[in-house]
Chains A and B, each alone.
Chain A
């Protein structure tokens, strides 16, 4: 049973506009959330994270928002650039255990 879900398999955005990628989770014990970016034929690379004590974390063009009551997080990319075209995975972990649970990924295409 998928504990972390990304319901949009793909997303297309014009260059310069905002990209919003969404992720939902079911386990209320999750307290640490991350986003990874993956290019074809490469391993995923860490992008940004957020702990459950915060509701927002920014790093340059990337901002992650966490809504604990809705069990929802989102990644905003502003402005979107063609180099942002990749598959984005969200992941979550609980304070006990040693496992990250990944979503199925959203393929972002930024159109020049």
Chain B
């Protein structure tokens, strides 16, 4: 078990407010990822990190920023939330064998 926790697990926020989602891992994996899951789209990569302070964009990065100041924590920030960012957000780490191991998810609703 890679020991990934996400917080909060559920959040309702209003359009235009900033939101930060946290991912915490306990096994010092180098690579961490943020995905969103939406009906009809599967899982799409938002941003990923390949080390402390090293991050890069995924396929749906607009409107999102990330930060990684410690190996164990990867933060996803919505600077000004919009209704199109209502989704389920999953954090993941990359295992040595290559597959992604996912956290339990955060359900975000933007009203």
Task: State the A residues within 8 Å of B (CB).
Answer: 4, 6, 32, 34, 36, 41-46, 49, 89, 91, 93, 98-100, 102-105
Contacts and interface: CB of A to CB of B under 8 A. Distances in A.
- List 3 tightest A-B contacts by C-beta distance, closest first: A43-B102, A102-B42, A102-B43
A61 B31 CA distance: 31
Contacts of A99: 45, 48, 58-59
B105 A43 contact: yes
Contact of A44 (B4, B43, B44): B43
Contacts of B48: 98-99
Is chain B's binding surface mostly helix, strand, loop or mixed? Answer: strand
Nearest to B95: A46
Chain B's interface size range is: 20 to 34
A98 B31 contact: yes
Contacts of B56: 98
